[in-house]
Amino acid sequence: MEDRFAIMTGNEACVRGAVVAGMNFFAGYPITPATEIAEIASALLPKKDGKFMQMEDEIASIAAVIGASFAGAKAMTATSGPGISLMQENLGFAIIAEVPIVIVDVMRQGPCQGVATAPAQGDFMQTKWGTHGDHPVIALAPASVGEVYVETIRAFNLAEKYRTPVHILSDAMLAHMSERVRIPEAKEYEIVNRKTPTCAKNDYKPYQDDGTGVPPMAKFGDGYKWYVSGIIHDETGFPVTNEPEQIGLQIRRLLSKVENNRGDIEKYEEYRTEDAEILLSAVGMVSRSAKAAIDQARNEGIRVGLLRPITLWPFPERRLAELAGQVRTIVTCEMNEGQLFHMVRESAGGTNVRRVTQNNGKIISAQKILTTIRELQTND
């Protein structure tokens, strides 16, 4: 069979990937530059017996998505920085209640309203630390429209597999640009559905570790009368605020769901790293400028490569540490003031880490990165 191709924007690819993954509920609130995701979802879902709701705000949007997931839905919401800020409270509930949901953050320049139509990468740390308390986070950061498509499928799969919210980090440029996308065939991807309980109705404990760290999840209405609280709970779902041992145990299990499964979750791309002396690290769209800069630098005889985290969280720190032992300098390229820089420096051991940052609503050019590479080649 011949490959199938289509031209679409990043936002459209996100919805189409989600539908392939089984999305049957979407709730959102209009916000630039994520709005088209809601628009397309509103048109596509009813045709497939799915449901779209435009809620009164982003707080309600993520709440409805969580509620729908408890009733058995594969549910998603999409927003941008201001909406992500509003969602942090209920995101905490999704984490502690262990609800599979997908949250798309189409990053725009910030803080506050910032520049609604301009791309940025200012929400790296917001997705990791935005909601209060220690908690696990999965965030996928695609770099092309085609990758938005496949990573959205993967986002749903990871959410279902690990009973946890998964973020997709896009940006205003990726969201709105059109690219040719190869539509993968069904046999090329798996569709994961959450594990459901098989025990007797009265024996079900919704937060009991079955040995995998991820308890089975019943859906409301199928006969398991279970209760879940946003308060720290024991394996029955009921609060345990006076039992430090249980509290510690539950938090550790939450964190270990992601930490113990890095091998399955983590994904990164390497470009020309084999003999690199200088390593670039860039996420999402910026990695494309980085690759162009690398090609040019290689033409000039400078040995430079790229490590691109596709899972920003969990951060591929082990591979970064290995490469840090090989290169003499690492340069992060990012559209913020150095959020990736801090993560890279943490894993880089004694290796020198520099940063190329740009926070003005424009994608960093290959030229700007190349200039830094040349300087490093001359001076370092």
Partner 1 sequence: MTERTERKEHIFDKYLRQDKLPHIWCPGCGNGTVVNALLHAIDKTGLEQDKIVLVAGIGCSSRANGYMNFCGMHTNHGRALAYATGVKMHNPELKVIVLTGDGDCTSIGGNHFIHACRRNIDITTVVFNNANYGMTGGQYSPTTPVNARTKTSVYGNIEPNFDICSLAATSGATYVARSTIANATMMVSQFEKALNHRGFSVVEAICDCPTLFGRINKLGDAVAMLADKKTRFITAAQAKNMTPDELSGKIITGEFVNRTNLPEYTEQYDVLIKNAKEEE
Which positions lie near partner 1, rule CB under 8 A? 24-25, 27, 43, 46-47, 49, 51, 53, 55-57, 59-61, 63-73, 75, 89-90, 92-93, 97, 219-231, 238-239
CB of 64 to partner 1, least distance (A): 3
- Give the three-class secondary structure for 209: coil
Distance (Å, rounded) from C-alpha 151 to C-alpha 34? 17
Beta carbon nearer to partner 1, 199 or 231: 231
Of the candidates 152, 155, 154, 157, the residue with the CA atom closest to the CA atom of residue 166: 155
Beta carbon nearer to partner 1, 92 or 361: 92
- Buried b or exposed e, range 326-353, using 16+ CB within 10 angstroms: ebebbbbbbbbebbbbebbbebbeebeb
Distances in Å between the Cα of 56 and the Cα atoms of 62, 74, 259 are: 11, 21, 35
Distance (Å, rounded) from C-alpha 293 to C-alpha 256? 38
| DSSP one-letter string for 25-82 | EEEE---TTTHHHHHHHHHHGGGGT-EEEE-SSHHHHHHHHHHHHHTT--EEEEE-HH
CB of 159 to partner 1, least distance (A): 15
Beta carbon nearer to partner 1, 65 or 335: 65
Beta carbon nearer to partner 1, 61 or 273: 61
- CB-CB contact of 8 with 181 (8 Å): yes
Distance (Å, rounded) from C-alpha 197 to C-alpha 138? 24
Beta carbon nearer to partner 1, 52 or 189: 52
Beta carbon nearer to partner 1, 56 or 264: 56
CB of 90 to partner 1, least distance (A): 6
